[in-house]
């Protein structure tokens, strides 16, 4: 049994708890909920005031708690369910893109109408398919360890995704938009298809690591599908493929806003991948040493 003192991130004591060493952070959160007014979904439990959020499946005995043992809890604020999040975040870009594509010709009625080509249809379909895939994966593939997220993230994420959807759709569907040279577009299309399939393959592999209803985390390894071999080189190949898919989209469309969206996504995913990579090394002593976080051999 460990005797823990629980503090807020403003260093105010919430009280002391006796917790079995074999219990998980999830179980600890239920106990914290009883001595504070913070429900389990709103809690971010950490070892230091500005420390990392501890995963629900971690066991108390795996933490290096000092003496006296202290743990900090941050109230993440009001939460929103994942179903709301994915509908707003991922369905929004489809709606915005389709509406802008349909109305660009109307806004620019003085300009000659552009006739759709095979590649312009591919660019349109790629955008819609990408976000439809994300919605379907959120419903049928991902086994998230958190059922909710802070409501302020929803506003932040929607602004990001909807804003870029407008920015990209406006340019790609503008009557004066011109197609890049065919060879570049076709290389982009091939890259987009391979990376979307790779991203899906990695998501399916991650699903297999976690039994339904649990928050178990394991070391991912390639599973025979050649697109998962990237796990030999990086910890987050789904992010590598995601960035590759947007690079492909940029080549297909020759669109600067799409490139800026790729750069912004890359920056965000690189930050997350570095954090996840560090967590893997901390959590699993036998974690493969040769892996990088997101770019093979580099980052």
Ligand X SMILES: NC(=O)c1ccc[n+]([C@@H]2O[C@H](COP(=O)([O-])OP(=O)(O)OC[C@H]3O[C@@H](n4cnc5c(N)ncnc54)[C@H](OP(=O)(O)O)[C@@H]3O)[C@@H](O)[C@H]2O)c1
**Binding footprint of ligand X on the chain (CB under 6 A):** 142-146, 199, 206, 209-210, 217-218, 220, 236, 238-239, 242, 265, 268-269
Q: Identify which of 209, 210, 207 has the alpha carbon closest to the alpha carbon of residue 220.
A: 209
Tokens of 141: 């593939």
Residue 108 or 143 with smaller CB distance to ligand X: 143
Q: Identify which of 244, 185, 177 has the alpha carbon closest to the alpha carbon of residue 234.
A: 244
Residue 84 or 268 with smaller CB distance to ligand X: 268
Q: Please identify which residue in the block is written with the tokens 């998980």.
A: 24
Q: Cα 61 to chain center, whole Å?
A: 29
- Strand duo 79-81 + 2-8: pairing: unpaired
Least distance CB 136 / ligand X (angstroms):
12
Least distance CB 104 / ligand X (angstroms):
23
Least distance CB 78 / ligand X (angstroms):
20
Residue 6 or 169 with smaller CB distance to ligand X: 169
Residue 82 or 177 with smaller CB distance to ligand X: 82
Least distance CB 214 / ligand X (angstroms):
9
Per-residue burial over 199-208, b if 16 or more Cβ lie within 10 Å, else e, is bbbbbebbee
Least distance CB 154 / ligand X (angstroms):
14
Rg from Cα positions in the chain: 23
Residue 210 or 281 with smaller CB distance to ligand X: 210
């Amino acid at each position: 049994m460990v005797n823990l003192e629980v503090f807020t991130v403003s260093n105010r004591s919430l009280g002391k708890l006796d917790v079995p060493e074999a219990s998980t952070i999830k179980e600890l959160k239920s106990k914290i909920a009883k001595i504070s007014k913070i429900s389990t979904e709103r809690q971010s439990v950490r070892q230091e005031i500005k420390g990392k959020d501890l995963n629900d499946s971690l066991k108390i005995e795996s933490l290096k708690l000092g003496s006296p043992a202290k743990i900090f809890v941050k109230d993440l604020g009001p939460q929103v369910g994942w179903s709301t999040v994915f509908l707003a975040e991922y369905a929004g870009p489809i709606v915005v893109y389709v509406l802008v594509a349909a109305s660009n010709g109307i806004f620019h009625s003085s300009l000659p109408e552009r006739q759709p080509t095979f590649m312009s249809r591919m660019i349109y379909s790629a955008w819609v398919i990408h976000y439809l895939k994300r919605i379907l994966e959120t419903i049928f593939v991902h086994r998230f360890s958190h059922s909710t997220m802070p409501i302020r993230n929803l506003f932040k994420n929607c602004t990001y995704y909807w804003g870029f959807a407008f920015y990209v759709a406006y340019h790609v569907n503008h009557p004066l938009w011109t197609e890049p040279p065919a060879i570049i577009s076709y290389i982009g299309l091939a890259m987009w298809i391979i990376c979307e399939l790779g991203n899906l393959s990695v998501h399916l592999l991650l699903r297999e690591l976690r039994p339904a209803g649990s928050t178990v985390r394991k070391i991912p390894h390639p599973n025979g599908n050649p697109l998962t071999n990237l796990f030999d080189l990086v910890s987050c190949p789904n992010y590598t493929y995601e960035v590759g898919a947007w690079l492909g989209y940029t080549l297909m469309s020759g669109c600067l806003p799409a490139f800026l969206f790729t750069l912004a996504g890359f920056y965000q995913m690189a930050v997350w991948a570095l954090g996840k990579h560090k967590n893997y090394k901390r959590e699993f002593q036998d974690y493969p040493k040769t892996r990088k976080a997101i770019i093979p051999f580099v980052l």
